[in-house]
Amino acid sequence: MKSNSGEEGHKRRRRSPKPHRVTTKDPRYNIDGYRRGKSIFFESKYDKYSQMVRIDTLEEAKISIRRLEDEYDGAKQMKKKVRLIQVANRAANIAGVGAKNRNYSERERREMAQVSKMYRNLQKSLSSKYAREKKARGKSR
């Protein structure tokens, strides 16, 4: 039987490990090398896609969605296809946050919600294409 004095069976409390330190110039990490707080508003890693993606108006979003689809269809490497899916996801997330922003007018918020929906549909369609391609690659091997 254990005594209540705490001497027997006392377990040391383990400290949680420190976050992994990274030495990189990636803007998502601060000077100390640790990941910044959870935020979706950080510099894009790929400048090409940040210039390609537009969420200002519906017309610009439609044009950039077509460009992303063309880029996906022309991509040969699976890594690039995954990256384009992530780009569409990030655009949908940022537009979704804009749709909830009270500083925008009602019309602007509705437009942002539509843009978010368009990018989310793009992300889902690219993801399903990717899954089919990945499944087909697995069978051919």
DSSP for 25-84?
--TTB-TTS-B--S-S-S--S-HHHHHH---SSHHHHHHHHHHHHHHHHH--SHHHHHHH
Q: Is residue 30 part of a domain?
A: no
Residue identified by tokens 């979003």 is 61
pLDDT above 90: residue 62: yes
| Average pLDDT score over residue span 114-119 | 97
Q: Is residue 88 part of a domain?
A: yes
> Both tokens of residue 70?
């063309």
Residue identified by tokens 């705490």 is 6
Q: Is residue 38 part of a domain?
A: no
Q: What CA–CA distance (Å, rounded) separates 141 from 122?
A: 29
pLDDT above 70: residue 36: no
Q: Is residue 64 part of a domain?
A: yes
Q: What CA–CA distance (Å, rounded) separates 70 from 56?
A: 21
Residue identified by tokens 């929906």 is 117
| Average pLDDT score over residue span 53-76 | 95
Q: Is residue 2 part of a domain?
A: no
Least confident of 14-23, 42-51, 111-120, 128-137: 14-23
- pLDDT for residue 43: 75
Domain range for residue 136? 47-140
pTM: 0.71
Under a CB-based contact definition with an 8 Å cutoff, are residues 26 and 45 in contact?
yes
pLDDT above 70: residue 38: no
Q: Is residue 92 part of a domain?
A: yes
Q: Is residue 31 part of a domain?
A: no
Domain tally for the chain? 1
Q: Is residue 75 part of a domain?
A: yes
Under a CB-based contact definition with an 8 Å cutoff, are residues 132 and 112 in contact?
no
* Residue 28 CB partners (closer than 8 Å, separation 6+): 35, 36, 42, 43, 45
